[in-house]
Structure 1
Amino acid sequence: MGVWKTNQQFDFVAANLISDDLIRLKKKIFSLVKPGQYLALSGISLENFSKVKKAFAALPLRCVQIRQGSRWAAVLYQRTQRKTRT
């Protein structure tokens, strides 16, 4: 998989990748989401879902919704706002 380069951030980012790629690229994927906006991860096998959730739990994201099928899962996160220093 090639690496993409951009300094842009977006209101909504969707990543439908295999679990290992989601985990490996989590910081890059996260960096594409504007503070306060949304990230959807999908295509996650149920056997790897807890591993993906744990990896993304280290980032400033709030879980908004989880959808599970018989074999796959998806999760919607909201990036928390940056704290301003006073």
Structure 2
Amino acid sequence: MSIIPVEPLREGDWREHARCAGHYEPFFAPFGERPPSRDRREQVAKALCRQCPVAAECLQWALLTEQRDGIWGGLNEYERRQLKRRRPT
């Protein structure tokens, strides 16, 4: 399991408005998770992201801080790596 460093919330922080606030379980894989369970968990997380008013900010933050684990802004680790490869430097 990875420990994800997160800055403390400041007033007006985008994370205050995140749809996932208080619902972190579907966003991070438990140790030993297998593909069928992962797919179901990711579907739940991505559904929350699609309804989130700050999904773009979340994804941008994940890319800037190079988050390796979890669903951020509606994308999993693999999808974020693919997005970074396609972005101009």
TM (normalized to structure 2)? 0.28
The structure richer in strand per residue is 1
Which protein has the bigger helix share? Answer: 2
TM-score when normalising by structure 1: 0.28
